[in-house]
Every structure is written in structure tokens, then in C-alpha cells.
Amino acid sequence: MSAPTSASSAVQIAAGVRSGQLKAADVLEEHLARIDNREGEIHAFNLVLADQARAAAAAVDAAVAAGNDPGPLAGVPVALKDNMCTHGIATTCSSKILDGWKPPYDATVVTRLIAAGAVTVGKTNLDEFAMGSSTENSAFGATRNPRDTSRVPGGSSGGSAAAVAAGFSSVSLGSDTGGSIRQPAALCGVVGVKPTYGYVSRYGLVAFASSLDQIGPFTNTVEDAALLLDVIGGHDPMDSTSIPAPQPSLLGAIQQGVEGLRVGRITDLPEGADPDVVERLEAAFDALRAAGATIVDVQVPAFSYGLTAYYLIAPAEASSNLARYDGVRYGMRVNAPDTNSMYGVTRTAGFGDEVKRRIMLGTYALSAGYYDAYYGKALKVRRMIADDFDRAYQRADVLLTPTSPTVAFPFGAKGDNPFAMYLCDVYTIPTNLAGHPGMSVPFGTGAEGLPVGVQVLSGTLGEPQMFRTAAALERAMGAAK
């Protein structure tokens, strides 16, 4: 499939709708037609909200006709990862255990999107409870990569990435706990951003690992990602981890260029990326140097410990967070002779294999006699990683790495080997542990013409320089076409 046209730009759609040159209803119907055409093949969605989207688009058009401004995302079709609460609309986390649950409230990001005039087209598929790197772990079936349907779209936000790559929605939201926005963005050839921890409210996001989870956008352009983050970012008193500080407009930052910016090359980065991915990374360094940036060598010695620390910390937090799914308060319940038996049979039937694996890992790491040896030690490693990044950012404004070690891989290629699957996130996980921002930018193709993403990293609240760098890479790719 060819890449979406420039008409898919959220900035262009919103400008056209606000000026009256475009009708939100027409924009929506164009996207719904694409869904009708290819959704059966791709399975990006768990639920398409066509009727509700039509009503929302009509309301946007009515506001424009009345001389009112619907907002900066007027008429922009958006898809939501199905772990974000939507009032009265099923939110499943792609798990059987939440069967039938309809939240009584909207997540903060949903509220902000609606207030900005966006039109929600559906809830997207994901690895169950956001645990996976291929969107093969969904209880409702796998999502396919629109660039090559024999391959995975990445995960866990594979449905959200595929929705944008296929043109089903102009933009989408995903969540990133260890790379679940950036890795599928790379594999599907779109832009994906994990903001600084606390930059975007987590209120209404169904928790996987609360100290790591962050919501962020998938878009076709860096400019659209800046617009979306400007809308959904900012302090939220409903989230105790939300940063209580004003955030500068990222739309303004992307015009500044990279003249004088210091771009770091991590000399002790873990090896294992395929040669075609490394080649695109080197081309990205060359492009930034040509645009006026300075390339500097830095070291992040604890980077290679990220995977080990993550797979103790994240499962431990998941073990605690997922204890609430017991068949008593909401979702699936399997009847049994007594309460304890009901807990066991409900959770056995409701959770998939990968979720069970991580719950058991986490419970073990938190158990008496093992807490200090595993979970406690992992927290110390997490501190080391953050400190090493902080030292690197004294020498560099941003860092560049591969996003994924490979291009999109075939279905089933890693499913029987959990460790091989976990290695998909070797370059993304350390940033989550540090709480820093990161984003993946499409930068050409690798093996078999499949997309390669370059990852741009920066320090806490370093989104402006991160977006400046991403925009420069995007311009370099545009100039090369």
C-alpha cells in the first residue's frame, strides 16, 4: 500500500475544517471508506465507532457554520488504543477478563481531544494489557502491518500504529511502557512519541506498570505529533504524577532547525541491530551534521542493563495492578463453588499466556525473601541508568539510536521465544526507566523495502530539542525524495 496522502495531515485537515473549506463529515467518510476497504485484512480496531463519529463530525460542522471555532483538531479523525477509558464505550485492553466493561468516565486525554474538536473513529487492538511487541497477544486476534500484511505491526500499540499507516485515522494515541509507541511506529513507518513521564495525564489509562506508562501520539508527520501533544499535554490534577509546570508549544519548536544542537552518538550502545538499520542510523547522523548539528560521542554504560531491570520492575507493577481483575467488581466472572475458586478460574480463563507469565514473574520478584535480591536491585539499576543518561545529556542535547533492531518481522517468528520478543525493545526500554522522552521518526527503508525508524532521545522535558531534531530528519528525508 502506498503511504497516506498529504491530505491525511491533521494540521491541514483542522485548518481546512476551521476555515470552512473542508467538511468534517466528508473527511470522516473518506477515512471510514478506507476502514471498510481494508480493516478486514488488517484488524487495526477492536471497535469502530462509525455512528458516534458521524454525530461528532456533524457537531463540528455545525459549530463552524455558527461561526464558532471547534478547536485545533477540528474534524481530525483519531483512533484510541483500547486501554484508554471511554465513557459508555467498551474498553477491553484486548483481554477477555474485561469483557462487557464500559467505563463510567473518559480518560483525560479523551476529554482533551473531544474539547479540541477531534472525531474518535474507534478503539484499536493491542497486545493484551499492553504486554507484547507484536500485537499477536490480543484476545481478539492479531493486527497486520499495512506495509506488508505478512508481518507484524509491532506492539503493544500495533493497532494504533496500523490505523495511521493505513489511513484509517489521521492520528492515533497509544501507550508506551517499554517502547510500545516507538517500536510499532518504526515498523509501520509513522511518527511515534513517548513524552516525558508526567507530561501527559495517565488518568483513565488502564495501568500496566504505573511508574513507566505514558500516553503519546502516532502521526504521519512530526508537525502533527507536535500539534497532538500540545493538545493532550499539560498538568492534570486527576493524575498525581502529572508535572505541574507549563509546557512550551512544540509547534513553535519544530521551525527552529538544529544549527548548533549537539547530537550524541552512544559509543557503548548494545549491539544486535541489523546492518540495514545501522546504515539508516548513520545516514541520520550525516543528515543532522549537514543541517548544522554537531555530532558528539557519549557513553551510557548502564544502557545495556535496561532490559534486565525492566523485566523485573514492569512485571512487579503489573502483578500489583492486575490483582484488581478478580471477577468481583467488573468484567468476566466464571462461576465456582466458593470465592477463592472463582478468583482462580476467572483469572485462568480471562488472562492470556503472556499476561500470566508476567504476573508470575512479578509476584515472584516481590515475594518475601526475593524482594531485595530482584526488585530492590532492579530499582538500583534503574537509578544507574537515569544517572548515566543525565551525564550524557551534559555533553549532548539529544541522542540518536535505532528504534527497533530490525524491520517488521513475519508473524510467528518470535512468538515461541519470549526472550527474542523482549529484545525487540532493547533500544526503547532504558528511556522509560529514566522517565525521559523519546520518539521514532521514519528514516527510509531497510530489508525488503520495509520502514526503518530512527529514535531521538532527550532529557527530562527535552521535548523541544527532540522535536527540532525529528523535524530536521523529516526534512532531510523529504529533500531526498
Is there a catalytic annotation at residue 319?
no
Is there a catalytic annotation at residue 156?
yes
Distance CA 454, CA 51 (A): 38
Beta strands 398-402; 294-298: pairing state: unpaired
Nearest alpha carbon to residue 10 among 166, 162, 193, 170:
170
C-beta atoms surrounding 240 within 10 Å? 9
Phi-psi bin for 26: left (phi > 0), alpha (psi -120 to 50), beta?
alpha
Beta strands 214-219; 451-458: pairing state: unpaired
Of 8, 170, 180, 404, catalytic:
180
Nearest alpha carbon to residue 459 among 298, 336, 325:
298
Q: For the chain, how far is it from start to end, CA to CA, in angstroms?
A: 18
Residue 211: all three cell numbers together: 511508574
- Buried-state track 396-416, b at ≥16 Cβ within 10 A, e below 16: bbbbbbbbbbbbbbebebbbe
Of 8, 23, 81, 414, catalytic:
81
Return the sign of the alpha-carbon dihedral for residues 437, 431, 300, 372: positive
Is there a catalytic annotation at residue 2?
no
Distance CA 389, CA 396 (A): 10
Phi, psi for residue 235 in degrees, rounded to 5: -60, 140
Of 8, 95, 156, 404, catalytic:
156
Distance CA 150, CA 134 (A): 12
Active site residues: 81, 156, 180
